[in-house]
């Protein structure tokens, strides 16, 4: 895949209720004005007749799946799924620090950094909100660790803040103490030009049509959930392989 293709959004799913798009790094999900480049504008330009509302958002540097509700029923149902804990997301993140435990939970609250309102901190403070991230080690190399991250809450910069607080900041995340370069033992240098974080999977109860619109919720069976995957973007794949990993490791 070329760099131009790597930078292009990709439609993963489209029906009457939902549109799910694979967002490239470097493109924000939304923007303050309708003229600034963002994923929402990309959707509006390609589907001018749709009223698409982004029900999930990824930071500009983060790649992966973003869900758009196309009806009020779908929007409400997905919000209900989030509240019920049945809207599940799986992220892949690379850190060049060691992670001692193979799995665990990070539960520091997230607050606004008093020195920078665009930044967040782990711990009590202004705008404090509870946050929970479940993690497991997906793969290890002598130079890096691949994490599989499952946020149980959806706070701003949650995964990035929690990883940094755990002593494993994400590779390329200079806002949260993450290194951008790694010198390997043989002298070669691996560079992360963005945060190495990718939303690889979303799963939620099926949104059904009709006047009321509904989700199967906790009563759903395997056949009543939608599960969508997106492969890691080529830039993340290249970085992970340069750090000694295999492309096959980058699975949700």
The string of pLDDT tens digits covering residues 73-103 is 999 999 999 999 999 999 999 999 999 999 9
Active site residues: 59
CA proximity to 133, closest of 169, 109, 168: 109
Q: Nearest CA to 132 among 112, 101, 113, 104?
A: 104
For the chain, which domains are there? 3-241 (3.30.2350.10)
pLDDT at 6: 63
Residues 4-16: tens digit of each pLDDT = 446 799 999 999 9
Q: Note the pTM of the prediction, 2 decimals.
A: 0.91
Across the range 18-37, mean pLDDT stands at 93
pLDDT band at 209 (very low <50, low <70, confident <90, very high): low
Tens digit of each residue's pLDDT (9 = 90 or more) over 170-198: 999 999 999 999 999 999 999 999 999 99
Tens of pLDDT, residues 226-252: 999 999 999 999 999 999 999 999 999
Kindly give, in sequence order, each residue whose CB lies less than 8 Å from that of residue 234, ignoring residues fewer than 6 positions away.
1, 6
The CA distance from 119 to 214, in Å, is 36
CA separation (Å) from 125 to 75, 115, 122, 129, 241?
A: 31, 12, 9, 9, 39
Task: Provide the percentage of residues in the chain whose pLDDT is more than 90.
Answer: 87
Query: What is the rounded (10 degree) CA torsion for 56, 22, 30, 194?
Result: 100
Overall average pLDDT of the 48-72 stretch: 95
In whole angstroms, what is the distance from residue 209 CA to residue 211 CA? 7
């Amino acid at each position: 895949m070329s760099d131009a293709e790597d930078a292009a959004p990709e439609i993963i799913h489209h029906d009457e209720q939902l549109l799910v798009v694979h967002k490239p790094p470097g493109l924000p999900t939304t923007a303050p004005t309708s003229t600034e480049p963002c994923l929402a504008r990309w959707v509006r330009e390609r589907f001018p007749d749709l009223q698409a509302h982004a029900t999930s958002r990824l930071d500009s540097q983060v790649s992966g799946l973003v869900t758009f509700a196309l009806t009020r029923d779908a929007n409400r149902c997905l919000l209900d799924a989030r509240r019920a804990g049945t809207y599940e997301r799986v992220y892949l993140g690379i850190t060049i620090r060691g992670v001692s435990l193979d799995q665990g939970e990070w539960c520091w609250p997230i607050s606004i950094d008093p020195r920078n309102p665009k930044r967040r901190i782990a711990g009590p403070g202004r705008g404090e909100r509870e946050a929970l991230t479940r993690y497991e080690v997906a793969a290890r190399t002598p130079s890096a660790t691949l994490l599989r991250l499952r946020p149980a809450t959806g706070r701003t910069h949650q995964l990035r803040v929690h990883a940094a607080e755990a002593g494993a900041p994400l590779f390329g995340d200079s806002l949260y103490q993450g290194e951008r370069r790694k010198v390997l033992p043989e002298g070669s240098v691996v560079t992360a030009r963005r945060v190495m974080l990718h939303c690889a999977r979303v799963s939620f109860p099926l949104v059904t049509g009709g006047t009321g619109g509904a989700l199967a919720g906790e009563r759903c069976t395997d056949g009543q959930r939608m599960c969508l995957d997106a492969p890691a973007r080529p830039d993340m794949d290249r970085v992970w392989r340069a750090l000694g990993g295999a492309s096959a490791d980058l699975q949700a």
